[in-house]
Amino acid sequence: MKRKTISMLLAVPFLGLFLGACSQESAPTTSDTVVHDAEVAAAGTNDLMAKGKGVYLANCAACHQPTGVGLAGAFPPLAGSDYLQGNRKEVLAAALFGLEGPITVNGVEYNGVMPSLGHLPDEDLAAAITYVFGSWGNDLAAVSVEEVAALRAELGQTDRAAGQRHVGATEGELTYQGAPSAIPAGEARQVSTPGGPVLSEAEFTTATQLYFERCAGCHGVLRKGATGKALTPDITLEKGTEYLKALITYGSPAGMPNWGTSGEMTPEQIDIMARFLQQEPPMPPEFGMADMKATWDVLVAPQDRPSEPQHDRNIDNFFSVTLRDSGQVAIIDGDTKEIVSIVETGYAVHISRVSASGRYIFTIGRDALINMVDLYMDPPTTVAQIKVGLEARSVETSKYKGYEDKYAIAGSYWPPQYVIMDGDTLEPLKIVSTRGMTVDTQEYHPEPRVAAIVASHQHPDFIVNVKETGHILLVDYSDIENIAVTDIGAAKFLHDGGWDRSKRYFLTAANQSDKIAVVDSKERKLVALTDVTKTPHPGRGANLDDPEYGPVWVTSALGNANVSFLGTDPDGHPDNAWKTVRVIDGMGGGSLFVKSHPNSTNLWVDAPLNPDESISQSVAVFDVNNLDAGFETLPIAAWADLGEGPKRIVQPEYNMAGDEVWFSVWSGKEQESAIVVVDDKTRELKAVIKGPEMITPTGKFNVYNTLHDIY
């Protein structure tokens, strides 16, 4: 059957850069639940409606919302939809085969793609459509299982696997996530897929760069998926070029940025990328000790560096701000709000970490270039640098007593490995591969990327998250010639995390497994593996004193609006320890960071990857002492007073005193961006830092808070 060119009506998949798969469950509010339950009871088809509600929430609500209202400009409403009237067969056909192109709903034109839900059993499709037909003011006849089966047969769909599951995926995808793959040395090269679209050499080069910059972080260098779905040719060829173009253009509320409608990728780039994704992934080279030493450069030797600060600024309140698309970080004085230095770094610095002495900032770009910046110098300047791979995300320094500033460690996405370096010069000393077996099925994985790394406060250990295989490694650096590693099996797709306030327990998200792993760093063991809602993404998380449950650690999520609270006090509140004790709703899916401070009673939650501009350009703030009151929304982007652009609000970060919160207003490379400073007590605008130097600011790291793990 040839697809009719209409739009997303019942479900939307996920492709994406920063994170995760589609069809994330989005929980309805209490009031919504009451209304819907009343509708179900009155419908006369209780069983079908009740089943349909569950199918709808699991497959459709991420885009069309639990209340069926859709998202303005992106996903059409199902509530009170005039399109549902008189288009019964078309709606059923859309569920079976998917749809694409423009459609007018309630006088508004939408232009997008709906994937096939033909993989679902007939009874699930009948139930979901019946639920839509009988909810939110719609009053249409129920759909029978026989009606769906007859239409499936009439239209010639005999293989339900033609549609693809949003969760669990196809057998091919599941196999591919853990299958071995040869990674030959040498330059990355194009391998054409039989039956795939044509891609010129120039287009291949462009696509390789775009994929590295925008997509590899979630989908992997080999495109096997993790936070994002697998994007291998066995999957993408079935989808086709037009389908992939639409997904890249419009994004998903589950966490994929809308690269097209935000203006960050041109239609030509999107077309190239859609065709590139249907080819075999390029084969990248390895990167060993000789490669690292060839890039290693000590620009200012330790003996030539100043013995004390060469300025009178408060280093503890400096902020290291990633200027993503310019390959720089801005060092900003938190007291005066002045930019004191613009440092050339690797591309899209992911994090900044601070040495135990508080003197050095270590940055690592997505291109795996590490910069060691001396804050004593005027202005702060890079004194050493090294490239540790082709793609990376994590760097950390030794902090245990007696080892302050002695070592640094970096973990790579490609090749999958970590390297321990001299803490004064970045000389590479020891490289360790992370390739190995998954924790669950014990299958070999060739690309187990290194995600978060933190320095233990209990032992001379680096705690290393191995993403795809689900291993948490406690690397004892007391003798790097004879490294002892405690290998803790947790859950696959480990990502980011942080400490509880005692600095004993490390809580980290296994985001695509929907779990939080808790490691007792003193006893060197796993103490809990806690279920949370879809695709947690805490950053470092937030530590609070919950008025009812005591000390808790907080994470938000990519896949829904949920903000989850986990108890962290096994001594004082043992019944709550490592359990999800509270779940509240933020603005919507696509949240990357939560943040609080010991001197604050506020909890801040962003949602920069939600495609609804009213959400992505704002921030939610909760009163910790009155969580039941819900959140206040602050219009951060509007306060910045910028021109056109996506203006996503990302990563709240406190100053040293805990009385200011800094937000990045992240716009396009050629558009105006800013840092907005908010008074934590009054929740009012305090300052805006902008100018030509502020190019795509994203992550911000206060020196004092980062050094002392305060969040």
Question: What tens digit of pLDDT does each residue of 643-661 get?
Answer: 999 999 999 999 999 999 9
**Torsion of the alpha carbons at 571, 572, 573 and 575, rounded to the nearest 10:** 40
**Residue 441 tokens, joined:** 């099925």
Sheet holding 631-634, edge to edge: 594-595, 602-605, 619-623, 631-634
Report, as residue numbers or ranges, the catalytic residues: 215, 218-219, 256, 495, 537
Q: What does the pLDDT look like over 579-638, one tens digit per residue?
A: 999 999 999 988 999 999 999 999 999 999 888 899 999 999 999 999 999 999 999 999
Count CA atoms within 13 Å of residue 12 on its CB side: 32
What predicted TM-score, i.e. pTM, was given to this entire model? Answer: 0.70
Q: What does the pLDDT look like over 359-370, one tens digit per residue?
A: 999 999 999 999
Look at residue 103 and tell me whether its pLDDT is greater than 90: no
Look at residue 12 and tell me whether its pLDDT is greater than 80: no
Distance CA 119, CA 64 (A): 20
Out of 40-49, 332-341, 449-458, 626-635, least confident range: 40-49
Look at residue 175 and tell me whether its pLDDT is greater than 80: no
Distance CA 166, CA 164 (A): 6
Distance CA 83, CA 89 (A): 12
Peptide bond into 102 cis (omega under 30): no
Give me the percent of the chain exceeding a pLDDT of 90.
60
Look at residue 255 and tell me whether its pLDDT is greater than 90: no
**Residue 179 tokens, joined:** 């299958």
- DSSP line for 643-706: -SS--EEEEEEE-TTSSEEEEEEE--TTS--EEEEEETTT--EEEEEESTT--SEEEEEEHHHH
Give me the percent of the chain exceeding a pLDDT of 70.
85
Measuring CA to CA, how many Å separate 634 from each of 586, 604, 637, 643?
A: 13, 10, 9, 19
More confident residue, 484 or 59: 484
Distance CA 217, CA 366 (A): 8
